[in-house]
Structure 1
Amino acid sequence: MEPTTTHLPAVNTVGLTAPFGWLAGGWADFRKALWPCLVYGAILVALSLSLAMALYFAGALRWLFALAAAFMLVAPMFAMGLYKTGRMLEQGERPRVGDILLVRSAFRQDLMYLGLALFLVYSFWVEASQIIYGLSTYRVHKTLSELLTFMFTQPDGQNMAMVGKAVGGVIAFLAFSLVVVSAPMLLNEKTNVFIATITSVRKIAQNFLPMLVWAMLIVALTALGITTGFLGLIVTFPVIGLASWRAYRELVPSSRGDMEQAV
């Protein structure tokens, strides 16, 4: 067993336009590994649609917003195969579907700890949203159409939506800060979850505005994928995952040497 890395790696400072370069690189990588990425995205969409249909038949479609929020929080955890795709492309290899569906680093205790942290953040968001909803109305909106009508046509609903967006945005950015670098960093088996998450937070602190832009781009592309009935995620999710790998490589300069030793 190789020793675990215990030192904090250096973090680069990037410019405000860096996220657009990561996105362009992610698109280029997506085209290089088109079919494996499409299959990966299709599997994710199939799972998302299955959950949405389960909510529909259970008469709980109003929880679709919660499902979308949960996806935003945990998506980096589902992108491990895409991070591996980016690494393989860097090494001049041609990834296959089997190579990226089963990633050994995705079945380790450190990633479970990271998932637990995200679950706690999501649970806090659910509780906060229920409190905001309870303070905004005395009615229970049983269907999604009733909830949307309340949110967009009534002053109390509009205020609820604004407050919910503000609170949810802060919580989502907290989750983003914890996971955006730590998830791809955990492909390196010599790195533990504590070093990875601290590095992720340090990266946000050192590059706040560029990372805010990156977070907004991720939200916009993910929302675009969701609003197309999840089908757009077949493309947008792999592109975001590959771009996130490029972001990690640029932000953590020691990652290349560590990865070469870990392979």
Structure 2
Amino acid sequence: MSDISPPRAASKVPRVNEMGLGDLSYALKMGLRDYLKAPFMGLFFANVYVMGGWLIYLFLFVTEQIWYAIPITMGFPLLGPFLAVGLYEVSRRLERGEGWTRNDIFGVIWRQKDRQLPSISWVIIVYFLFWSFFAHMLFALFLGPSALTNVTSSYAYLLEPEGLVMLITGTAAGAIFALVLFSLTVIALPLLLDKELDFVTAMLTSFAVVRQNPLVMVTWGVIIAGLTFLAMVPFLLGLFLVLPVLGHASWHIYRRALTPRD
């Protein structure tokens, strides 16, 4: 089956739609359907995510920086949408009734290097690294530099008043970090795959969707965060189900959120 190349002519900015909570249940149902129709691709991309997580935690354990697992765990879901690009393409082809092979999907991902997805991917990665640095600074600010070395042998620091305040403050700050990035990228990533727009316009369009549908989109963000954290508890193994379903569902959220003008 021949591949359909991404559009090269500049696309018009889509119109933002009014959404309801029913769109979320629809997207999750369609996400599960797409996963069951293309399980190999879902398992492949989930495996990349899970193996990456295992390697990160192994590195932290070997280097005796396991305390870093707390901010890493909180920030890890921020990278999920970036890794789900291949799943967006699978859902797009299923939606259009088009056939595809594994090479078609990987080929589409490879061609994104000449478009706008790498730019927004760097935004996500830098944002994740900044969050990790901020969490490190917050830890040292509340508990002092000595805690960074002693916490690997004793977690009693976290149960002291300063530790509890640090955890509460870090959780609140992490929620703000996640909300900002979520607002700028939740629609932007599938939009950039589907249309020929610059990444700044895509991020602003994504923010406009969240601003116009705050209840629906914040609920969607809570669903993503909640399911992802639950899936990470059993050694990240739950991500083999959760990540593909959420990845495919995100495509259908995008389709419900915007109406093309061209």
Q: Does 1:47 align with 2:33?
A: no
Matches within 5 A, 1:72-151: 72-102=77-107, 103-138=109-144, 139-142=146-149, 146=153, 148-151=155-158
Tell me how far 1:189 sits from its aligned partner: 5.0
Distance, in Å, in 2 between the alignment partners of 1:143 and 1:238 is 38
Distance, in Å, in 2 between the alignment partners of 1:116 and 1:40 is 19
TM-score (norm 2): 0.87
Q: 2:18 aligns with which of 9, 13, 21?
A: 13
Computed over aligned residues only, the root mean square deviation of the Cα atoms, in angstroms, reads 2.2
Distance, in Å, in 1 between the alignment partners of 2:95 and 2:183 is 25
Q: 2:176 aligns with which of 167, 170, 174?
A: 170
Distance, in Å, in 2 between the alignment partners of 1:97 and 1:234 is 18
Tell me how far 1:25 sits from its aligned partner: 1.6
1:156 maps to which residue? 162
Does the 8 Å CA contact 2:140/2:148 hold for their aligned counterparts? no
Does the 8 Å CA contact 1:73/1:118 hold for their aligned counterparts? yes
Tell me how far 1:46 sits from its aligned partner: 1.8
Tell me how far 1:141 sits from its aligned partner: 3.5
Q: 1:29 aligns with which of 28, 34, 44?
A: 34
3-state DSSP class of the match of 1:141? Answer: helix
Q: Does 1:226 align with 2:226?
A: no
How many residues are matched?
A: 254
1:68 maps to which residue? 73
Q: 1:237 to 1:149 in 2, by over 3 A?
A: farther
3-state DSSP class of the match of 2:98? Answer: coil
3-state DSSP class of the match of 1:238? Answer: helix
Distance, in Å, in 2 between the alignment partners of 1:41 and 1:221 is 14
- Structure 1: which 4+ aligned runs deviate by more than 6 Å? none
Distance, in Å, in 2 between the alignment partners of 1:24 and 1:221 is 15
Tell me how far 1:114 sits from its aligned partner: 0.9
Corresponding letter in the other structure for 2:139: Y
Distance, in Å, in 2 between the alignment partners of 1:223 and 1:99 is 31
Q: 1:194 to 1:57 in 2, by over 3 A?
A: same
Distance, in Å, in 1 between the alignment partners of 2:198 and 2:114 is 10
Tell me how far 1:234 sits from its aligned partner: 1.2
3-state DSSP class of the match of 1:186? Answer: helix
Q: 1:111 to 1:184 in 2, by over 3 A?
A: same
Distance, in Å, in 2 between the alignment partners of 1:147 and 1:169 is 27
Unpaired stretches in structure 1, ≥5 consecutive residues: 259-263
2:3 maps to which residue? none
Distance, in Å, in 2 between the alignment partners of 1:98 and 1:165 is 41
Q: Does 1:249 align with 2:255?
A: yes
Q: 1:8 to 1:62 in 2, by over 3 A?
A: same
Corresponding letter in the other structure for 1:244: S
Identical-residue share of aligned pairs (%) = 27
